[in-house]
């Protein structure tokens, strides 16, 4: 909702006034609404080498595309803006999913991993039991919302099928930032999606079928030719 509002005006101050004035978040206190808006603004206004800016992601989530595509795109911004979440995804969840395809992520597995992280980060070791438990619940909720973990009480995680819309969105974003060839198809973004290089090749083929790009690979040489001059051009030409 907030990103949709930003897409309309590209002005956070205007969005803030509208949210508070019309109570769009259905909060009794305006300070609660302002805190939520601040959190959203900080998450999507990050200066990232890998991710498109707030203007582009707000336009993407405002497009007439499946909700699952929007969820998969927003997932990357949570990982990028929260280093501990990113580490949990890459170093705990990804190896399990890549090895087994589908398996249970137990609280014991989570706790064991966090104890290893705490060795290098003393602040985590000093967390109270309440904070520790809260982090675990929020991380599992994040996985469920991202459709990586099944609904509670299940702890089963599985490799998601990455939709072509978010894949192309981020690929165009990488190309806009000067990533080409192998550098683009071996991005950390695809690791967060638990994609192998074969999965990336399949996604490229799906984007090519849509007419969004052309790609060829000969060994370590990868040629990517986009059908639009930029991510903005793709958003305006392919999704509208």
* Cβ-Cβ contacts under 8 Å for 120 (sequence gap 6 or more): none
pTM of the model: 0.86
Instruction: Give the tokens for residue 102.
Output: 């589908």
CA distance 105 to 97: 10
Does pLDDT of 144 surpass 50?
Answer: yes
**pLDDT (0 to 100) of residue 218:** 82
In this prediction, residue 94 carries a pLDDT of: 97
Q: How many residues does the chain have?
A: 240
Q: What is the pLDDT of residue 46?
A: 76
How much is the pLDDT for 39? 63
State pLDDT tens for residues 168-215: 999 999 999 999 888 999 999 999 999 999 999 999 999 999 999 999
Chain segment 90-115, per-residue pLDDT in tens: 999 999 999 999 999 999 999 999 99
Mean pLDDT of 53-81: 93
């Amino acid at each position: 909702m907030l990103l949709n509002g930003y897409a309309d005006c590209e002005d956070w101050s205007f969005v803030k006034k509208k949210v508070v004035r019309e109570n769009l978040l259905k909060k009794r206190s305006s300070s609660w609404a302002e805190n939520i808006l601040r959190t959203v603004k900080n998450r999507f206004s990050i200066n990232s080498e890998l991710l498109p800016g707030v203007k582009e992601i707000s336009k993407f989530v405002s497009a007439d595309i499946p909700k699952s595509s929007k969820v998969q795109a927003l997932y990357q911004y949570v990982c990028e803006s929260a280093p501990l979440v990113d580490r949990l995804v890459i170093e705990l969840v990804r190896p399990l999913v890549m090895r087994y395809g589908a398996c249970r992520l137990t609280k014991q597995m989570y706790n064991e991993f966090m104890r290893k992280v705490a060795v290098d980060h003393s602040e985590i070791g000093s967390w109270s039991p309440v904070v520790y438990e809260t982090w675990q619940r929020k991380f599992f909720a994040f996985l469920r919302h991202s459709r990586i973990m099944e609904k509670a009480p299940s702890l089963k995680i599985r490799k998601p099928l990455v939709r072509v819309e978010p894949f192309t969105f981020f690929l165009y974003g990488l190309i806009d930032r000067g990533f080409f060839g192998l550098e683009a198809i071996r991005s950390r973004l695809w690791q967060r999606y638990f994609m192998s290089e074969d999965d990336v090749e399949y996604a490229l083929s799906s984007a090519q079928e849509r007419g969004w790009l052309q790609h060829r690979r000969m060994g370590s040489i990868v040629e990517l030719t986009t059908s639009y001059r930029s991510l903005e051009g793709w958003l305006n030409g392919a999704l509208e």
